[in-house]
Structure 1
Amino acid sequence: MKVVNAVMPAMAQMAEFFGAPEDGPFVMVNLLKFKARAEYADGSDAHLTGAEAYGRYGEAVSRLVEGLGGKIRYSGAVTGLLLGEVEEMWDAVALAEYPSLQAFQAMALSPEMQAIEHHRKAGLAGQLNIRTKPAAGF
């Protein structure tokens, strides 16, 4: 299995994701890898770690998620791996529930998101975003 962390999706990937049929609430699994030091485009806050810069984003995005009727279900540090193998471990995991794909897209494209995105970019070395739905029998 090939795993590639990224900070921003390719246009084709974004079009496919947002072009999916609307099917109600979902949970986004966020696997996060932080930079050792924050890298703001203007050079500010170089004393922060990547995790601290991302924490600024996380605090603000939590309010956006809740404002659209979603919720942060879980957020925590990755502390070990029991099964499988990865070249490099992620630093943190966050689970965010959204009421709909349309609500997620509106948030992702909102001016409020654009205003905090620089913290995310400053702190992240890469991430995976995995959209999930409850399955019968689980």
Structure 2
Amino acid sequence: MQVINAVQPGGDQANDFFSTPDDGPFVMVNLLKFKPFAEYADGSDAHITGAEAYARYTAEVRKLLVSFGGRPRFSGTVTGILLGEVGELWDMIALAEYPSLAAMSEMMRCPEMQAISHHRRAGLAGQLNIRTRPHADHEVVTDAP
């Protein structure tokens, strides 16, 4: 299995992703790798870590996610791997629930998202985004007891 982290999807990859049938709610698994230090295009804030730059993005994207009908599900630091091998572990995993592909697409294109995307680019060395949905025979747990 080949694993390639990226910060932005290529045009064909994004088009293919958003042209699939919109079959309702899904959870996006984000595997994140941060730069050691933030790399803003204007050279500002070079003293903060990539994780700190990405945290600026996350604080705002959570609000956007909710405003588009989604919600953050989980985020945490990757601390180890039990099974399998990768060349280098991701730094963080985040799960975000979206009500539909259309809602995600609209959120990705909105002006508020464009206004915060520089924090994402400054902080991320790369990531994988994996779209998931529950099997029909499995109940989706929406609220923890």
TM-score range, shorter chain: over 0.9
Q: CA deviation at 1:69?
A: 1.1
Residue number in structure 1 paired with 2:38: 38
CA offset digits 1:1-52 (Å, max 9, x no partner): 0000000000000000010111100000000000000000000001110000
Residue number in structure 2 paired with 1:134: 134
Alignment of 1:6-25 (within 5 A): 6-25=6-25
Distance 1:95 1:36, change over 3 A: same
- For residues 89 and 12 of structure 1, what CA distance do their matches in structure 2 show? 27
Alignment of 1:1-138 (within 5 A): 1-137=1-137
- TM-score when normalising by structure 1: 0.98
- For residues 17 and 101 of structure 1, what CA distance do their matches in structure 2 show? 9
User: Unpaired runs of 5+ in structure 2?
Assistant: 139-145
SS, match of residue 95 in structure 1: strand
- TM-score when normalising by structure 2: 0.94
- For residues 130 and 48 of structure 2, what CA distance do their matches in structure 1 show? 27
Name the count of aligned residue pairs. 138
User: Unpaired runs of 5+ in structure 1?
Assistant: none
Q: CA deviation at 1:134?
A: 0.2
> One-letter code of the match for 2:128?
L
> One-letter code of the match for 1:6?
A
SS, match of residue 127 in structure 2: strand
SS, match of residue 128 in structure 1: strand
Q: CA deviation at 1:136?
A: 3.6
Cα RMSD over matched residues?
0.7
- Over 6 Å off, 4+ runs: none
